Amino acid sequence: MTDSQHTQDSRNSFDLVVIGSGPGGYTAALRAAELDRSVAIVEKDDVVGGVCLNRGCIPTKALITAVHDIETAEHAQSVGVNLEFHGIDYGALMKHKRHMVHTMTEGLSALLSHRKVSVIHGVASIAKDHSVKVDDGDSERTLTAHDIVIATGSMPRGFADEPFSHSVIDSDRALALDTFPTSAVIIGSGAVALEFASLWNTAGTKVTLLARHDRVLSHWSRRAGVTLTRELKRSGINVITHANTTAIDSGENLGVTVHYDQVDHNAQDSDGGNNGNGEKASSQHQVSADVALVAIGRTPSTGAQWFKDAGIDLDEHGLVATDELGRTSADHIWAVGDITAGHQMAHRAFEQGMTVAEAIAGLKPEPVDNDTIPSVVFSSPEAASVGLTLEQAESREELNDVKETAFPLLSNARVQMTGQNGSLSVVTGCDSANADTPIVLGVHMVGPCATELIAQAEQMVGNRTPLSKAARLIHPHPTISETIGEALLKADGRPLNSR
């Protein structure tokens, strides 16, 4: 072998190759490098960070945080502080968004370089011989590695056969708009739908949101979903529940019309309840707007043929089947993030990346516990949840004496000062290891600072903290965090500032 061939081989040979540089991918790469593994990360885009840094978490929160100042100014007027809102400088706002994205992606690039992770740009695929082919558009490069981590992420799911366009948009296109729309129909009621609904509504957009169920966040605790639905309506968003979107009309002209069926749960026929064949009565409606944002979930990016060729098993939803540590059905191939079953959250992918890297290094990490992963929505008001809902806890055979305790947020002075409302509930119960000692199983919040406060609740849920001990934790006064302490006291049978 010539010196040049040896150099070429060493340049393309690694202990670990990671496909995708989103939260799960870059965390796996950074942790593996920290554990003295040689690592390459392959990214199809020109910059690292994946959807989260470039088209998701960071740009949306940059806009939401900035526009929240409008609500602050409006509330200030009501308490005697005379602030006036004079409109949005969209050029400056979008510059701010781009600056935040650039800052975060450049910081990640620097950190990867510091850890000596090789960043290779191109489209990756796994060959049958376990090598990784990288096509940059001009040439193909072959990488070899003992282990491979797949972190290809997900993409917005479209509505039926309706293609995305200038008026039927996904979250990527929504973030690319130079200005906010005058009017918008949002199809969906999950985190992405609610964050854009709050963002645009605060900025002055006329927003209609179509929710399939009786409330938004229908998979969350019922109390949280009902509360947030009420508060979104109170803020001016036209939330239409029991709405099943049937068609979207868009043409060359500006604007879009969304057709939907709405189930009338109050209607009764002469037989006393439905349309005679066991189905609820429904009626057809339509709503028009500048744009329709389709936010009905995301599809895992696992459609490439090489997944099958590499022997990687997928489930019926296109998700990669893994064990509790992230191993796939193919030897020495691992998967993390949105392509695996569970919460599609960046912070879950972070922990998965750490777990996989440590497992590859021969350590014995604890598996990721999906019951302790917080869900957060940066709507207005915010929503956050961790652990089991009442219904979920009651369905677990190993749990008994399950209870849900609700705490009225408006009994907290600092919540009242914000001008917002919400709800907070704590789910407790006993398990086989704590037969006579209730532990904190779940906490569900809607209200100011919920996305920050949920981290405290996650510690209690994750550590299976006994309710009696959790209720004795002291919270500073006067703070919004006291709402958690008060809810725990009430659950423990010792309510202070509530009945």
Could you tell me which residues come within 8 angstroms of residue 288 by beta carbon, excluding any fewer than 6 positions away? 183, 185, 255, 256, 257, 258
138 exposed, middle or buried (CB, 10 Å; 0-12, 13-18, 19+)?
exposed
Phi, psi at 131, each rounded to 5°: -80, 165
Give 210's strand partners: 187, 240
User: Known catalytic residue: 477?
Assistant: yes
Phi-psi region of 150 (alpha: psi -120 to 50; beta: other; left: phi over 0): beta
Closest-CA residue to 189 (of 235, 243, 231, 234): 243
Give the H/E segment covering residue 192: helix 191-203
Binding residues for NAD(+): 188-195, 297
Which residue stretches of 361-407 are H helix? 390-395
Q: Exactly one of 99, 114, 166, 477 is catalytic; which is it?
A: 477
Closest-CA residue to 412 (of 489, 301, 470, 355): 489
Structure tokens at 23: 């939260």
Binding residues: 61, 152-154, 188-195, 297, 338
What type of residue is 109? S
State the distance between the two ends of the chain, measured CA to CA, in whole angstroms.
81
Contact 300, 315 (CB under 8 A): no
Q: How far apart are CA 192 and CA 57, in angstroms?
A: 10
Q: How far apart are CA 156 and CA 482, in angstroms?
A: 38
Closest-CA residue to 31 (of 331, 343, 302, 336): 336
Contact 457, 429 (CB under 8 A): no
Helix, strand or coil, per DSSP, at residue 227: helix
User: In this structure, how many other beta carbons lie within 10 angstroms of the beta carbon of residue 434?
Assistant: 13
Helix, strand or coil, per DSSP, at residue 429: strand
Contact 78, 419 (CB under 8 A): yes
482 exposed, middle or buried (CB, 10 Å; 0-12, 13-18, 19+)?
buried
Phi, psi at 360, each rounded to 5°: -65, -35
DSSP 8-state secondary structure symbol assigned to residue 157:
P
Residues recorded for the chain = 499
Contact 125, 132 (CB under 8 A): yes
Active site residues: 477
